[in-house]
A and B are shown apart, each in its own frame.
Chain A
Amino acid sequence: MNSHADGAANNPRNPFAHVEAAGWGQGLRTLTRITYMNLRHRWQVAIAIGSTFIAAALQLLIPKLLGQAVDQVRMGEGISGGTVEQALWTSALLLLAVSVLRGLFTLAQNYFAESVGHHFAYELRLACYDKIQRLSFSFHDQGHSADLITICMLDIEGVCWYFSTALVRAVLLAMLIGIGAYMLLSTNLELGVVALSFVPFVAWRSSRTQLKLRATWDELQGRLSVLGRVMEENLCGIRVVRAFAAQAYEMLKFERVSQNALALAQERADIYARDTSAMTFSFFFAMGLVLWIGGSKVIAGEISVGTLTTFLTFMTVLQMPVRQIGLMINAFARASTCGSRLFGFLDLDITIKDAPHARPLEISEGTVRFDNVSFAYPGAENRQILRNISFQARKGETVAIVGPPGSGKSTIAHLIPRFYDVTGGTITLDGQDIRNVTLSSLRRAVAVVQQDPFLFTTTVENNVAYGDPWANEPRIERASESAQLHNYILGLPAGYKTVVGERGVSLSGGQRQRLTIARAMMLRPSVIVFDDSTAAIDAATEQRIRSAMRRFAKDRVTIIIAHRLSSVMHADQILFVENGEIVERGTHEELLVKARRYEALHNLQTRPRDDDGAN
C-alpha cells in the first residue's frame, strides 16, 4: 500500500491520482476493505444481519398467509361457517403476530445496521484526525485543505452509510429473492420462473450502472471540490477581491466552475433516473406476466386463486426493495469512490516520524549545530534551496539571519524542529542528530514564531496557552507581558477571555505577531526562532519585547530572522544568506568592515537620502 504514497510524491498537484486512475479492481478491493472493517463490530453486525434474515422470512410469510386466507374465504363458500371462522381467526392472528415481529426485527435490522455505520464513521473520523495531525508539512504543502475537508467529511459520510444502505439492503434483497424463489419455484415451477424473470435483467443493468455512477461520482466530486476551493478562496481573500473591485471577475470564475459541476450533476441525475425506471419496469413486466400466465392457469384449473394471490403478493412485497435497488447501487458506487479516496489518504506514508530507536532529546549545553546542511523541498527535488549551511550556536547566544526574499531563511528555521528532513548534512542539538530523537521532545524544545501566524478561533488565553494548556494564569500573563500584549488584552471587552476571530482578523498585524510571540514563550523552549516576527511591530515595541526576552536569553539559543538591522545588530553572529548559501558571516562590527552586502543594507537603513538614485 505504501507504493501509493510514493506515487503521490511524484505528483504534487494531486496526491490521490492513483485512486482516480484505478477502475473496477480498485473499487472491489475498496468495498472488501470497507466490509471487512464493518465486520469487526461483530455483535452488531450479527444482530443486524440475523434480524435481516428473520425480517425477510417473516415478510415472505405474509403473502403465504394472505394466500391461505383467500383460499379459506373461497372454500368457506362450501363449508360450514364455524370451522372457516376459526381458520380465518387463526390466519388473522397469525398475520398480526407476523407483522409485529417483522416490525421488531426490521427495527433491529435498521438500528444495528446504522449503528455499525456510525461506529465505523467514528473510527474513521479518529483515524483521519490522527492522520492529519501526523502527516508532515510537505504533505500539507502539496494538497489543498479543501480537498482534505472533502475527504474527512463527505467521504466518511459516503462510506459510513455503506453498511446500512448498500450491504444490508443487498442481503435483504438477496434473501427475499432467494427464499421467495424457493417458495415460488416449489409451489409452481413455471410461474415461479416467470415471476423471477426480472432478476437477471436487473442484475445486469445494475452492475453496469454501478460502474457508470462510480465514474461520474469520481468526476463530480472532483469538480465540486474545485467549486468549493473557488468559493473558499474568495471568502478568505475577500479583502483582495474588494481591494481590486474584482467581484465581477470572481462571479465569472464561480459561474464557470459551477456550470462545469452542474453539467455533470445533471448527467448523474439522468443516469440514475433512466436506470431506476428501467429496473422498475422490468419488475412490473414480470408481474404482468404472472397475472396473465397465472390467470390462464387458474382458468385452466392448474392452480388455485390463492396460489396466484401468493405470487402477486410476493411481487408486491418485492416492490419496495426493487425500487430501492437504485439507491443501493448508488450507495455501492459512492462507497467505492469515497472509500478509495479515503483509504488512499489513510494509507499515505508519514515521512517525518520517530525513528525506531528514537530517544527523548536531552538538553544540557543547548548547542544547535548545522553541519553542511543542504535541502530541497519534497516535490521540487531538483531545486536546491539550501547548500552547505554550517553554523553553531551555544546556549545564551543569538544568531541572526538576514537575506533577500526567497533566500532560504525560513527554510533554515523549519529544519530545526524537523518540519522537513534535510537532504544532506546533519542538524544536531547537543550532539544528538535531530532525526534520532523523538519528535515530541524536539518540538517542545524548539519554538518557531512563524512568519505568517495562525491563530485559533478561541479566547486570547487559550491561544497564548496553546502549547501548554495546563499553564496557570500568572504564567500566561507573564508571557503576554514579555510580548508587550498584556496591556492591550486588558483593554479588550472580556480581557483574556475575548475570542479572537478566525486567523485573528480583528487584531492588527502587529498584535497578531505579538500574540504568537507570547505563545512561543509559553513553551519555555531551549531554542527559539523568530522568523521575521516583528516586521509588523514598530521599533519601540520591538525593543521592549527584546529587552524582556533578554532576561531569558541566557538559558537558550535565540535565532532571529529579520530585515530591520536594529533587530539583528547585537547578535553574536550574523549570517547573510543568499540563494541558499551563507555568503557573509560575523558580528555586526566585523561585517561592517569586511562585508559588502551587509554594509549595503546597513547604509540603506541608517543613512537617509544620500545613497539613493530614487529621487
Chain B
Amino acid sequence: MSQIPDPESERKGVRDGTRPPRAVVGSHRIEDEVFGRAFDKNIVRRIWAFVEPYRTKAVIAVVAVLICAGVQLLIPLIIRYAVEHAITPGSRDGSALLAAAGAFFLAILVNRVASYMQQSVIGKMVEVVLFDIRRAMFGHLQKVSLSFMDQTEVGRLMSRLQGDVSSIQEFLETSVLSVGDIALLFGIIFVMLWLDLSLGLLTLSVLPVLFIVRMFWLPSARNAFMAATETNSATNGALAEAIHGVRAVQSMDRQQVNFLLYDDKAHANLKTQLTAAKYAQVMVPIVDTLTGLAMAGIVLGGSKVLNDRIDVGVTIAFLFYIQRFFDPIRSLTLQYSVMQRAMASGKRLTEVLDLDIEIHDRPDAKALSPQMDGSIEFRNVTFGYDPKHPVLKNISLKVSPGETVALVGPTGSGKSSAIALVHRFYDVQRGQVLVGGYDVRDLTQESLGRQVAMVLQEPFLFTGTIFDNIRYHRTDVRRDRVIEAAKAVGAHDFIVSLAGGYDAPLGERGGNLSLGQRQLISFARALVADAKILVLDEATANIDSYTEMLIQKALTKLLEGRTGLVIAHRLATIRNADRIIVLQNGEVIETGNHDQLMAMGGLYFKLYNLNYASFDDLAEEQLDITAQRGGQT
C-alpha cells in the first residue's frame, strides 16, 4: 500500500514547523475569480453562439427531454386510471386493466427511445461544442499579441482550455436536463391543480417556504462555492509548479519547506471543500421536510374522500406526483452550483476569446514575395514593452541584401528585442521597421514569417522525433534536405548515434539532449525553413568555438545570397560579419567592421579585449565600463 507521508514527520526537519518569511509555492498572482450570478445573459449568449450551428440537434434533444418529462407525468395518470377504472376488487372486466397496462408499456417504450435519443444526441453534441470552443480559443491564442503571452502563465491558459471547458460541458448537459426538470415541475403543478384544485393548492403552499429558505441560503452558499473553487485552483497551481520546477527544487533542497507550504494550501482547500459540501447538502433535509409536509397534507386531505369529493385514484396519483414533484426541485438546487461554476468559467473563456489582437494584418497587406531583396532597415525606431520605458531608443540601422550584420552589446541592451521587431512580434512605438523595402506593418504576418527564419535565444523543441523537429512546419520538405541541414550545423553525427537516429523520440522540450545539441537542432530547423533572411540570436552561445567554426564554414555555402542578422556575446563568433553594430542601453553607439571598430577604441574594442584578457590584468575602472550600464537597463 502506498505510504501517505505524515506531515508531522516532515515538519520536524523544518525549524519547528515555522514558515520561512520568503517562501511561497504556486503562483504569486492571485486569480481574480470572476464569480457572479448563476445566470449571466451575455455569457449564455456567447456559449449559445457555439451551440447555434447544431441547433437541430439541440432541438431534437430538448424535444426528447420534453417527451421524457411527459411520460413521467403520464405514468401516475395511467396508474390512477387503472386504480379507478380497472382495479376494483371483484370486477369481471379485465379489458380496462389490459388497456391501462398496454398504455403503460407504450409509454415506457416511447420513454426508452426518447431517453436514448436525448442522452446520446446531447452527449455527442456537447462534445463537439466543447471541441469547437477549444478550437476557437486555441486558434485565437495563435493570434493574440506576444506581449499578452509574455505576461500570462501557460498553466493558467491551460486551465482555461481544459478545466473551464469541462465546466461548460457539465453546464450544457445539465441545462438540457434542467429544461426537462422545469417542464416536469410545471407539468406536475398543472396536473395536480387539474386533478383537484384544493389538494393541488395545498401541495403548492409549501413552495413559497422553499423559496424563502433559498433566499437566505443563496448568498452564503455562493461564497462557499466560490472559496472552494479558488482554493482548488490555488492548490493545483502549486502542484503544477512543483512538477515544472522539480529540478530546481531538488537541487536546492527545498522539498521540506515546499511540502509544508503545500500542505497549508491543500489543507485550506480541504476546509473550503467541506464547507461547500455542507452548504450543498443542507438543502436536502429541507426539501425532504417539505415533501413530508405535502404528503401529510394529501393524506389528511384524502379524508375528503369520505365526503366523496375526490377519490382514491386521485389520492394515489397525488402521492406519486409529490414524490416526483421534489425531484426536479432537488436537482435544480444541485444544478445551481453547476450553473454558477459554468458562468465563472464562461466568463474566463470569453475573456480569452475577446483578447485584443494588437497585431493585425492590414486589410490591404501585401504578401512578401520570396524574390524580395532581403534587406532590413530600422528607421528611427523607438520601442518599449512598456511604452513609458523604451528599450530601444531612436535606432536606425540598415542591413543590405546579402549582407551579414552582427549585433553586439551588454546584456539587457535590447538585442533580442530588436530582432523581435524584424518579425513584428511587437509593434514599434515610433519609427519604422522595413523588410525587403516594405514596412512590416504593410505585410502579411504569414509571408513575413516565411521569409525570416529565426534561431531563438532559447531553443524550444517539441515532443516528437528529431526529424519532426527539424522539419517542423515544412511538411513538404524531403528527408535529404533535413539531413543536409543537420549536417551543416554539425548535428548529423550525434543524431545517428542515438537509438533510432533521426526518428529517435525526444523527451519533453528535448530534455534527453544537451543544450548545445538542442541549439543545433533548432538551428537546423531554421535552415530547413529556407528563408531569405536568417536571424540568429545567440544561436551558438552554448557551442564551442571549434564546432561553431565548422558550422560557419558549412553555412557560407548554404546561405549564399541571404541576409543574416547575428547576435553573439562571444565576439569571435561574429568577427567575420560584414558589419558590426554595437548596442548599448537601447542605442546604437558604434557601427563598422571589426577592424574599424577596433581602431575606434570604443566599447567594442574594450569588449573584444575582455574576451580573452586576463582577469588579473584588468583594472577596476575597465570593469565598470559596461557592466554597470548593462546592469541598469
Contact = CB atoms under 8 A, between A and B. Distances in A.
Interface stretch (B50-58, B85-93, B369-377): B85-93
B302 A566 contact: no
A443 B252 contact: yes
Contacts, number: 607
Contacts of A240: 456, 460, 522
Contacts of B423: 242-243
Contacts of B513: 406
Given A467-B252, A563-B544, A605-B612, 10 more contacts: A96-B289, A107-B285, A242-B425, A462-B24, A466-B252, A502-B154, A532-B542, A538-B607, A543-B627, A563-B545
A541 B626 contact: yes
Closest 4 CB pairs of A and B: A245-B449, A99-B292, A405-B516, A103-B288
A270 B412 contact: no
A569 B457 CA distance: 26
Interface string B1-44: 11111010010010100001111100111000000000000000
B205 interface: no
Nearest to A303: B89
Contact of A613 (B1, B274, B553): B553
A259 B123 CA distance: 16
30 contacts: A70-B302, A73-B306, A92-B300, A114-B274, A115-B277, A118-B274, A134-B255, A140-B247, A246-B472, A247-B143, A251-B139, A251-B142, A254-B138, A265-B127, A270-B124, A295-B87, A308-B83, A312-B79, A404-B546, A406-B516, A447-B251, A456-B248, A467-B254, A469-B21, A485-B631, A491-B633, A506-B150, A506-B385, A509-B538, A535-B541
Contacts of A119: 270
A597 B546 contact: yes
B545 A137 contact: no
A42 interface: no
Nearest to A308: B87
Interface string B515-527: 1110110100100
B547 interface: yes
Interface in A126-153: 126-130, 132-135, 137, 140-145, 148-149, 152-153
Given A84-B306, A566-B610, A100 B251 contact: no
Contacts of A505: 150-151
B626 A106 contact: no
Nearest to B288: A103
B632 A604 contact: no
B281 interface: yes
Contact of A535 (B142, B569, B611): B569
Contacts of B632: 487-488, 491
B267 interface: yes
A91 B611 CA distance: 98
Contact of B529 (A244, A292, A450): A244
B357 interface: no
Interface string B397-430: 0000000000011111000100000010100000
Most interface-central of B138, B244, B299, B316 (chain A CB within 10 A): B299
B477 interface: no
A510 B549 contact: no
Interface string A425-461: 0000000000000011001100110111010111101
Contacts of A98: 292
B274 A126 contact: no
Contacts of B91: 299
Contacts of A241: 142
A391 interface: no
B1 A76 contact: no
Given A448-B251, A614-B552, A129 B456 contact: no
A382 B611 CA distance: 40
B295 interface: yes
Interface in B93-128: 94, 97-98, 100-101, 104-105, 108-109, 111-112, 115-116, 118-120, 123-124, 126-128
A576 B86 CA distance: 101
A590 interface: no
A342 to B, nearest CB: 9
Interface in A262-318: 262, 265-266, 268-270, 272-274, 276-278, 280-281, 284-285, 287-288, 291-292, 295-296, 298-299, 301, 304-305, 308-309, 312-313, 316-317
Contacts of B288: 99-100, 102-104, 106
A470 interface: yes
A485 B633 CA distance: 11
A499 to B, nearest CB: 5
A128 B1 CA distance: 14
B462 A233 contact: yes
Interface in B142-179: 142-143, 146, 149-155, 157-158, 161-162
B45 interface: no
Interface in A309-331: 309, 312-313, 316-317, 320
A554 interface: no
Given A126-B266, A149-B240, A541-B411, A443 B253 contact: yes
Interface string B439-461: 00000011111101110111010
B303 A404 contact: no
Contacts of A3: none
Interface string B233-266: 0011001111111111111111101110011001
B512 A295 contact: no
Interface string B291-318: 1110111011011011000001001100
Interface string B589-633: 000001000000000001100111111101000110111101111
Interface in B499-549: 499, 505, 507-509, 511-517, 519-520, 522, 525, 529, 538, 541-549
